[in-house]
Chains A and B, each alone.
Chain A
């Protein structure tokens, strides 16, 4: 249907977006790659030349590296586990007939719209503060000693905060998926006497498979780069230094750009491994 004329017009219309994104991707990426092979300390001598793969080796062998990978995986894994399991249960619940469904839905989704710095600070101070926080009051009411959440249970606290932010996302997407399930199939199974657990296991869960995969992949992309929640709570102390935070510290706090850039390249590789799987799923959907 397209004429030659409209083809070239189409190309012209695509050009700004493509050029901008190409620049946005290539320029900083090339610079990061370039810095990663150099000894570059902007405040202590500047660019001191080519060092080959030294930065890559030093980044991996530094004592902070493996703990940061462990922390990253723990946060990503913990949040995924909580949000997917609770998300499925919540979506099932919200799909049931009830009074005031719209309002409940709004209440459940709300945390997603809270900016990360606000949710981190509200949790840190108003809930987890060991003296005046709500949890401290609750603990005292039961005669227990208040917990210093962000130092004694730092990982649990961060995971709790981030999971609270992402549970709405998982719930919303899974709910959308459940609602697209053909209810006749469920009714037929119910009439045939299949118990609720079996209906869930053999009909609902397989139907949700794709949505769950999408939730896991998209959340992983975002969770790998969790930043503000750590920046305003523990600043990476008490074992909460993720790979993202470690690189941030190397680059901006200790101004070791070469080392930080090598770390950045690792982070990019890590994110791309996840991205490949996500893109496969999205790509399949395009063909339909």
Chain B
């Protein structure tokens, strides 16, 4: 947007925006900084911001004491598995709703959205009971399935809004040229749909990674992902600020980086296409 402003005003806006941005980001920055301090320096009074002896020892301690790698691996498997499974189920559904819409398409989409509104706590015990009966409690596969189901509406919706932007004429042209349904999907649709699918994967990976109701209630020592790992620092270990910070930094770093790539998709995905 090219609105003419005086340099003075631009400088003022810049200063104000940076100050507010810094303030909002500060808790994360502080956590990252503290993770490089010794425990004594982490609680030093007055607090030390940059001038302390930088150390990596906390990261080693966290890994040794709580086997960080296993929780990380659980997070990767659970978030990744649920996302991929969701995509496998959702792509055909979204494809058919976008390109072969029927009178009921809108109702089905709205109904799918409504399942997302179901408060998790309302079905906590049934899921818990089913998990016990099927031996799924504290297993990765159980969580993969549950997280896939809770995110499936968002995946279908996101894919649907992306697919709908692909012009239908192209498909008709391919059909005229004698392309089969399989060719159509494989050679015409897929290349055009890849960016949308990639964004959907990204956002849902983030959502699954950060999910903290089912992951806390359905896991223990075995299948716990990073959300549970951090919750175990609740007390009294949480009072060791440097180690808490190291653990926290390791838990959020991958997602912060992925998240920065997905800003735009975030709006579309979380508003179900109502704001673009």
Contacts and interface: CB of A to CB of B under 8 A. Distances in A.
Interface of A: 1-2, 6-7, 9-11, 13-14, 16-18, 20-21, 24-25, 27-29, 31-32, 35, 90, 93-101, 103-119, 121-127, 129, 132, 134, 137, 140-141, 164, 167-169, 172-173, 176-177, 179-180, 183, 187, 210-211, 214, 218, 221, 224-225, 227-228, 231-232, 244, 247-248, 251-252, 257, 260-261, 264-265, 267-268, 270-272, 274-275, 278-279, 281-283, 285-287
B107 to A, nearest CB: 9
A178 B3 CA distance: 14
A78 B17 CA distance: 24
B50 interface: no
A117 B152 contact: no
B199 to A, nearest CB: 15
Contacts of A11: 96
B115 A282 contact: no
Contacts of A267: 119, 121-122
B102 to A, nearest CB: 7
Given A17-B93, A97-B10, A214-B274, A232 B234 contact: yes
Contact of B181 (A6, A127, A172): A6
Given A114-B256, A121-B231, A248-B124, 6 more contacts: A6-B100, A98-B17, A118-B252, A124-B238, A167-B24, A221-B117
Contact of A187 (B3, B127, B213, B256): B3
A29 B117 CA distance: 13
The A interface, classified by DSSP as helix, strand, loop or mixed, is: helix
A94 B17 contact: yes
Interface in B118-176: 118-130, 149, 152-153, 156, 168, 172
A113 to B, nearest CB: 4
Contacts of A35: 125-126
A177 B271 CA distance: 12
B210 interface: yes
Interface of B: 1, 3, 5, 10, 13-14, 16-18, 20-22, 24-25, 27-28, 30-31, 34, 43, 45-47, 89-90, 92-93, 95-97, 99-100, 102, 106, 108-110, 112-130, 149, 152-153, 156, 168, 172, 181, 206, 209-210, 212-213, 216-217, 226-228, 230-231, 233-234, 238-239, 241, 244-245, 248, 251-252, 255-256, 258-260, 263, 266-267, 270-276
A126 B21 contact: no
Sorted nearest first, the 5 A-B pairs with minimum C-beta distance are A13-B92, A113-B259, A10-B96, A28-B123, A107-B21
A104 B19 CA distance: 9
A204 B18 CA distance: 23
B13 A122 contact: no
A260 B13 contact: no
B124 A264 contact: yes
A25 B121 contact: no
B193 to A, nearest CB: 14
A110 B259 contact: yes
B77 to A, nearest CB: 16
B261 to A, nearest CB: 10
Nearest to B150: A24
A104 B230 contact: no
A110 B206 CA distance: 12
Contacts of B156: 17
A115 B208 CA distance: 10
Given A13-B95, A104-B21, A118 B100 contact: no
B254 to A, nearest CB: 10
A183 B14 CA distance: 21
B244 A126 contact: yes
6 contacts: A21-B112, A118-B31, A132-B43, A169-B270, A247-B124, A265-B122
Contacts of B212: 115-117, 227-228
A268 B110 CA distance: 17
B92 A121 contact: no
A125 B230 contact: no
A98 B92 contact: no
Given A117-B227, A119-B27, A264-B121, A231 B10 contact: no
